[in-house]
Amino acid sequence: METSLHRQLKAMYAGAEARTEERLDGFRIDAIRGKQLIEIQHGSLAAIRDKISRLLEKHRVLVVKPLILQKTLIRQDAKGGSVLTRRRSPKVESVLTLFDELIYFTRVFPHRNLTLETPLVEVEELRYPGHGRRRRWRDNDFLVEDQRLVAIHETHRFKTNQDLLSLLPPALPQPFHTGHLAHELEVKRWFAQRIAYVLRKCGATTECGKAGNARLYELVRPPAKKKRA
């Protein structure tokens, strides 16, 4: 079922002139604006990897991957019922969460026809008691009725592997290992390893040796443009 969040983002990115929910090359497309296809993907990027890969052969594609910066949980007594409580979810995402998604998307990104946008959003999530198809039931099980957009706090756009490097801290030593990355970004070492993997697979860094057991990486900068005579 399409959520309010999906509909709101689709309307925002598509605009009044776009065609929505059309079939193209055997796929359903969220919106077509001019010659650009727009896909809003709240779920995993892995789920649309093959679809986007096929579409990029002939079309320019904008993939919008919202990341939830803030979420308010609204508990209801039943679906569409009265509100019992409202509370802020302790789980938050940041633009760095994109690396978790790109692990399964490096065969697609970067691509000359692909633009990836990550709006950092604030949402409300409506819940009601229920178990769904879970085999094990618990007293506090719930189902999500809807998610709706409250605000967009900022948006990041990525077209090339160099755009990913803009997320790295300026104080990162060169070369660096994942310990440096974890310290400078204030993340766990295992997550820094995921970031390093994505950067290498996307061609933004290259492995250049070792320091003890730690692999060393260096940035891959684009060649300087030749000056006209």
CA dihedral (134, 135, 136, 137) positive or negative: positive
pLDDT in tens, 40-66: 999 999 999 999 999 999 999 999 999
| Average pLDDT value for residue range 159-176 | 93
First-to-final CA distance of the chain: 59
The rounded distance, in Å, linking the Cα atoms of 35 and 38 is: 10
Class level of CATH domain 162-229? mainly alpha
User: Which pLDDT band, with edges at 50, 70 and 90, does 147 fall under?
Assistant: very high
Burial string for 23-51 (b: 16+ CB within 10 Å, else e) reads eeeeeebbbbeeeebbbbbbeebeebbeb
**C-alpha–C-alpha distance, residues 114 and 117, integer Å:** 10
> What is the mean pLDDT of the segment spanning 140-163?
93
Average of per-residue pLDDT across 23-43: 93
Q: Output the pLDDT for position 135.
A: 58
Tokens of 198: 């994505």
The mean pLDDT of 85-112, rounded to a whole number, is 94
Cβ neighbours of 65 (radius 10 Å): 23
Q: Strands 214-219 and 142-158: what pairing?
A: unpaired
Confidence at residue 109, expressed as pLDDT on a 0 to 100 scale: 97
In total, the chain counts a number of residues equal to 229
CA distance 37 to 31: 6
CB 18 within 8 A of CB 30: no
pLDDT band at 173 (very low <50, low <70, confident <90, very high): very high
pLDDT greater than 70 at residue 227 = no
Strand pairing partners for 31?
20, 38
pLDDT of the residue at 136 = 64
Per-domain residue ranges for the chain? 4-159, 162-229
- What are the φ/ψ torsions at residue 176 (nearest 5 degrees)? -135, 160
**Does residue 138 surpass a pLDDT of 90?**
no
* pLDDT attached to residue 191: 97
- Type of residue numbered 75: R
Mean pLDDT of 199-215: 94
Alpha-carbon gap, residue 195 to 39, rounded angstroms = 24
Query: Is the bond preceding residue 110 a cis peptide, omega within 30 degrees?
Result: yes
